[in-house]
Amino acid sequence: MSAAEYLRITGLHAFYGESHILHGVDLDVRRGECVSLLGRNGAGRTTTLRAILGLIGRRTGSVMFNGRELIGLPPHRIARLGVGYCPEERGIYASLSCEENLLLPPRVAGGGLTLEAIYDLFPNLHERRRSQGTRLSGGEQQMLAVARILRTGARLLLLDEVSEGLAPVIVTKLAEVIRTLRASDYTVVLVEQNFRFAAPLADRMVVIERGRVAAVIAQHELDSKRDFLQEVLGV
């Protein structure tokens, strides 16, 4: 298996009940790469992540991860193969304390960050470790949602709108964290609304439109395609 095939999505269709949301998404992500999924509201970016994890009612096509087919596997098996997920709605549990939230996802592989390393990275979480998860501020909850999957050893991270609604300092901090992860050979799929956050981080930008990949733009093409991006994203 070559590095080029770390995550290979071909002809992915996804459905919520009767509504057909993804219409054949094709996407390759190399190992150690950071790919950003951009698109207008409702384009199908969140659905793409959820379909990778099997959180969608029905999906067809193929999702190969590290040489394994994920279509047909239940979500907990997919996660165990080394996929970490930070959902759009953050998914902090009210019935768990901050630290319990942090410790919830089981380790799926070696090499994850230790609890100490995570607290070094996010000192706020250490301060608030005994608080009920949902009592944390929006920014703290977002950090918790990201931190939670760094412990597990998962090497493919699916991050959905991590910069949304956060203060600029925290956004800078998250960008720093993602840059560090990339440098340490994590593979990141970054769903973003915030183009200026994603642009400097991503090796490639994938534009999703109406449940399909509309364009793929490499980092070095960014300047020449800026007008095109502005048009399709409405930014």
Question: Which residues in this chain contact ligand ATP in the complex, by CB under 6 A?
Answer: 16, 19, 21, 39, 41-47, 88, 193
> What span, in angstroms and rounded, lies between the C-alpha atoms of 159 and 214?
20
- Between 16 and 228, whose beta carbon lies closer to ligand ATP? 16
Residue span binding Mg ion (CB under 5 A) among the ranges 9-17, 18-26, 82-90, 211-219: 82-90
Which residue of 104, 117, 214, 218 would you call a contact of another protein, by CB under 8 A? 104
178 binds, among Mg ion, another protein, ligand ATP, none (CB under 5 to 8 A by kind): none
- Between 24 and 91, whose beta carbon lies closer to another protein? 91
> What span, in angstroms and rounded, lies between the C-alpha atoms of 176 and 187?
15
Is residue 103 a contact residue for another protein (CB under 8 A)?
A: yes
Distance from chain centroid for Cα 74: 19
CA dihedral sign, ordered 63, 66, 68, 73: negative
Number of CB atoms found within 10 A of residue 233's CB: 16
Q: What's the number of CA atoms in the CB half-sphere (13 Å) around residue 228?
A: 13
Structural tokens at position 199: 């642009």
93 binds, among ligand ATP, another protein, Mg ion, none (CB under 5 to 8 A by kind): another protein
CA dihedral sign, ordered 159, 164, 167, 171: positive
104 binds, among Mg ion, ligand ATP, another protein, none (CB under 5 to 8 A by kind): another protein
Binding site for another protein (CB under 8 A): 53, 55, 74-76, 78-80, 85, 87, 91, 93-96, 100, 103-106, 108, 149, 152
